[in-house]
């Protein structure tokens, strides 16, 4: 009997979203911590690098969600290599919650992820208040000094 890995639920949800929009992804690399796909869309080709977090962090208020994604040295080298090779890179951060149907996907473009790598960050903390139209990624100094990522960016791209 084949066992389904937890990561399959999160990566599979993103793949389902892509397939529903007519995008046919090609898996390049995969492990428990990330998956990499090549995609051909109406907007051209791109490389999709995905990571997931199973659950949000505990926060002080109910209307605020936050997830922390670790960027290993290997991740940073791989992402930097894709950028240097000229790929149109999208990094999808799958932000899971206990009720899987309430999970979210944040999509960072190559300029945003390059900026985070240049800051030499070993993790990305992404957050969103309820009904906010953008995620915030702290770049030092809390929510006030943050990179904004539109909440509907994934749908815009694909």
Return the residue matching tokens 């030499």: 120
Please tell me whether residue 36 adopts helix, strand or coil conformation.
Answer: strand
Instruction: Count Cβ atoms below 10 Å from residue 10 Cβ, excluding itself.
Output: 23
Rounded mean pLDDT of the chain? Answer: 89
- Per-residue DSSP letter, 58: P
Instruction: Count Cβ atoms below 10 Å from residue 139 Cβ, excluding itself.
Output: 15
Give residue 134's pLDDT.
94
Which has more pLDDT, 50 or 64?
A: 50
- Domain-by-domain residue ranges, the chain? 6-157
Residues 37-61, mean pLDDT to the nearest whole number:
85
Residue in 108, 109, 110, 106 with CA at minimum distance from that of residue 127: 106
Tens digit of pLDDT for each residue in 74-116?
999 999 999 999 999 999 999 998 888 889 999 999 999 999 9
Work out whether strand 89-95 and strand 44-53 pair parallel, antiparallel, or are unpaired.
Answer: parallel
- Per-residue DSSP letter, 102: G
**pTM (predicted TM-score):** 0.90
Residues sharing a CB contact under 8 Å with residue 28, sequence separation 6 or more, in sequence order: 36, 37, 38, 47
CATH 3.40.1350.10 fits domain 6-157: yes
Give residue 13's pLDDT.
92
């Amino acid at each position: 009997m084949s066992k389904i890995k937890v990561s399959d639920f999160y990566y599979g949800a993103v793949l389902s979203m892509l397939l529903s929009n007519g995008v046919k992804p090609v898996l390049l690399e995969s492990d428990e911590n990330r998956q990499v796909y090549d995609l051909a869309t109406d907007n051209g080709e791109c490389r999709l690098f995905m990571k997931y977090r199973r659950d949000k962090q505990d926060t002080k208020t109910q209307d605020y969600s936050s997830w922390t994604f670790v960027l290993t040295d290997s991740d940073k080298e791989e992402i930097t290599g894709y950028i240097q090779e000229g790929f149109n890179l999208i990094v999808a951060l799958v932000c899971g919650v206990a009720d899987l149907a309430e999970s979210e996907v944040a999509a960072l473009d190559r300029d945003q992820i390059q900026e985070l790598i240049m800051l030499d960050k070993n993790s990305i903390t992404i957050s969103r208040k309820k009904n906010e139209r953008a995620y915030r990624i702290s770049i030092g100094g809390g929510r006030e000094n943050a990179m904004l990522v539109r909440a509907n960016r994934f749908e815009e791209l694909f």
